[in-house]
Structure 1
Amino acid sequence: MHWLADLLAAIGVVLNGIPQGIMAMSLGFAVFPTTFSFVFASGINGLFGSVAPISFQAESLALTGNLGKNIRERTSIIFGGSLIMIVIGVTGSLTRIVSFLGNHIMAAMMAGVGIMLAKIAIQMTKIEKRTGWISIAVATLTYLLTKDLVWTIVLSVILSSCYASLVEHYRAALPDYVTARKFHFLKPTFSWRVLRGALSLACLNIGANISYGLITGQMTGLKPNPVNLNLLTSTQALADMGTSLLGGAPVETIISATASAPEPVIAGILMMLIMAVILFAGWLPKIGKYVPSASIAGFLFILGAVITFPENATSALSGTNNLIPAVTLVVTAVFDPFAGLLTGGVLKFVLPLIGLGV
């Protein structure tokens, strides 16, 4: 019966990914080209036996949507970020970067991202007030009762969407290029906003690949940790690079319940192939017409304020000198992950030179 357990784990992660796929559509990303990312990653995982799948990730979507003002800027940010990450993955620089900055600075950056997510969730409620607050209320109550993120996202999205659809008669008018089952080439553009966004997305992915990737590996119960971080980084970067040129959404490292399945590699591949079928068949846009973007506000709030921030803030501020991690956390929350990591790295280098050892 291993196959049934693998399938159920895969379906659970798909249910978690669908609302975030809808969030991607609300930001203007085309979902049909994103099919390539899931098929490509499933092939790589099958070839190398990797247990860490990729999927829609709320953090990267929220960051990209916040820093890019239109779809061309957003896809350019993804393309630029993927170029940076492919260099990091191929050269095996991921662990070196983390070693140089230190775990406290990396954790502080991720804690700052948690505050960013909670802030974005609140901003969503200002646009669609009742739907957003219903989503946050249901998500908070569900997580307090279950401590389960899958139930949190499913119930908060479904109940807030039902309210929007039945009471407010919500129907989304998605652009044709978002729902079309064909490819549209989007030439990358360059600007300071795009460069800043690409660097920020790369910084976020450095932290996420280390933390989420290793957590997924730990869920298998195997030792040593079976996740190859350089392979994971290269896979995610190549997948994003291809789909971004076609207007597709980013897919990144996630904490995946498939790792706890009897056959974690097979379960992860099943999850990505099921998601690919949903996108290829055009089912996600049909669902998305009835799901407002604010329906994911509850999940973003819980993910940021309850999951990401407390654990990482505790880790970041657990040392004897908390100056650098604290500044990194605040700068990340106020500006972006790149500004946070850059500030932390500069302070770590400069403060000892002027006699302020840390």
Structure 2
Amino acid sequence: MHWFADLMAAIGVVLNGIPQGIMAMGLGFAVFPTTFSFLLVAAINFIFHSVAPVSFQAESLALTGNLGRNTREFTSIIFGGSIIMAIIGFTGVLTRIVHLFGNHIITAMMAGVGIMLAKIALDMSKVHRHSLTGWLSILVAVITYLISKDLVWTICLSVILSSLYAVFGEHYQASLPANVTVRKFIFTKPMFNLRILRGALSLACLNIGANLSYGLITGQMTGIKPNPVNLNLLTSSQALADMGTSLLGGAPVETIISATASAPEPVIAGCLMMLIMAAILALGWLQKIGKYVPSSSIAGFLFVLGMFVTFPENAASALAGKEQLVAATTMLVTALVDPFVGLLSGGLLKVLLPLFASL
């Protein structure tokens, strides 16, 4: 019965990814081209026996939407970030970057991202015309997570209940743009400006932290020692997937903490999850669901993910060492500005503090 357990784990992760795919559509990303990403990484994971799948990731979507101004800039940020991550992945310098900055700065940056996600969730609820939907989503998500400590239940209940309220209480039905629902590949030429450069660097910094934390956690869930996750392979495959789909106007996929790693056959379960997601996108089912799910329905999951999942663990790890001032600065600058500036400020402070102390 291993196949049934693998299938159930795969479906659970798919249920977690669908609302974040809807969030991607809310930002104007086409989701049909993302079929390419899921198929590519599924093939790479199967060939190289990697247990770490990719999917829609709320953190990267929220950050991209926060730093860009329109869909063209969003896809350009994704493309730029994927080039940076491809260089990091193929050269194998990910661990050297961590050694250079220090684990406490990386975890502090991730804690700052947690605060950023919570703020985005609150702003989404305040400014969206379906504001009650957003607040209801946050309320349901917080209650569900405090009771269950389960992110799948949290995202399912908060999105479903808030969407039902939006549809029946506020008569919500979205008219998605043609570029979001179209089921064909359309080349999207990247553009460049300083905002896109900043966004690409920030996205790369976020992915460095996510690949380390989420990738290694997924590997630990298998119970196999040593950790079966190849971080360079994970980084390279994710970068190639995003590079391809961004040129087609598609939504990005990133590293996630995946329950498929705890399945009897973690590689098969992860590949199965990505194949199911690819089928959902190719058949246009996500686009149909998205018409009845407002983007503010994801606010609850973003808030819980930021304040209850991402922030506490990373903040505790970052502030546990001796360089608490460096970690706190990285955390706050990341939350107030972006991950790249946060990481850079932490690195500079780490270098400057000993110099000032020796004067």
Name the TM-score, length of structure 2 as normaliser: 0.98
Q: Deviations over 1:63-101 (max 9, x none)?
A: 001101000000000000000000000000001100111
SS of equivalent residue, structure 2 residue 357: coil
Q: Pick from 172, 177, 180: which aligns with 1:178?
A: 180
Amino acid at match of 1:177: N
Which residue pairs with 1:102 in the alignment? Answer: 102
Q: Pick from 200, 204, 212: which aligns with 1:202?
A: 204
Identity of aligned residues (%): 75
Work out the number of aligned pairs and report it: 357
Cα separation, 1, equivalents of 2:185 and 2:43: 21
Amino acid at match of 1:298: G
Which residue pairs with 2:157 in the alignment? Answer: 155
Q: Deviations over 1:228-277 (max 9, x none)?
A: 00000000000000000010001000000000000000000000000000
Cα shift at 1:164: 0.1
SS of equivalent residue, structure 1 residue 247: coil
Which residue pairs with 1:219 in the alignment? Answer: 221
| Cα RMSD for the two superposed structures | 0.8
Q: Deviations over 1:128-184 (max 9, x none)?
A: 310001100100110111100000000000000000001101011110010000111
Q: Pick from 336, 339, 347: which aligns with 1:337?
A: 339
Cα separation, 2, equivalents of 1:107 and 1:356: 27
Q: Deviations over 1:285-314 (max 9, x none)?
A: 100000000000000000001100011111
Distance verdict in 2 for CA 1:44–1:356, change over 3 Å: farther
Aligned runs of 1:235-250 on 2, under 5 Å?
235-250=237-252
Cα shift at 1:12: 0.1
Which residue pairs with 2:72 in the alignment? Answer: 72
Cα shift at 1:356: 5.7
Structure 1 segments, 4+ long, off by >4 Å, are: none
Cα separation, 1, equivalents of 2:166 and 2:31: 23
Q: Pick from 289, 294, 298: which aligns with 2:300?
A: 298
Which residue pairs with 1:189 in the alignment? Answer: 191
Name the TM-score, length of structure 1 as normaliser: 0.99
Cα separation, 1, equivalents of 2:197 and 2:42: 30
Q: Deviations over 1:190-227 (max 9, x none)?
A: 00100000000000000000000000000000000000
Cα shift at 1:350: 2.1
Cα separation, 1, equivalents of 2:186 and 2:74: 15
Which residue pairs with 1:88 in the alignment? Answer: 88
Cα shift at 1:353: 2.5
Amino acid at match of 1:101: F
Cα separation, 1, equivalents of 2:53 and 2:358: 43
Which residue pairs with 2:317 in the alignment? Answer: 315
Aligned runs of 1:37-56 on 2, under 5 Å?
37-56=37-56
What are the ranges of 5 or more consecutive residues in structure 2 without an aligned counterpart?
none
Amino acid at match of 2:218: T
Cα separation, 2, equivalents of 1:356 and 1:323: 17
What are the ranges of 5 or more consecutive residues in structure 1 without an aligned counterpart?
none
Cα separation, 1, equivalents of 2:120 and 2:323: 30
Cα separation, 2, equivalents of 1:321 and 1:339: 18
Cα separation, 2, equivalents of 1:36 and 1:350: 45
SS of equivalent residue, structure 2 residue 197: helix
Amino acid at match of 2:106: M
Distance verdict in 2 for CA 1:356–1:168, change over 3 Å: farther
Cα separation, 2, equivalents of 1:239 and 1:349: 35
Amino acid at match of 2:187: F
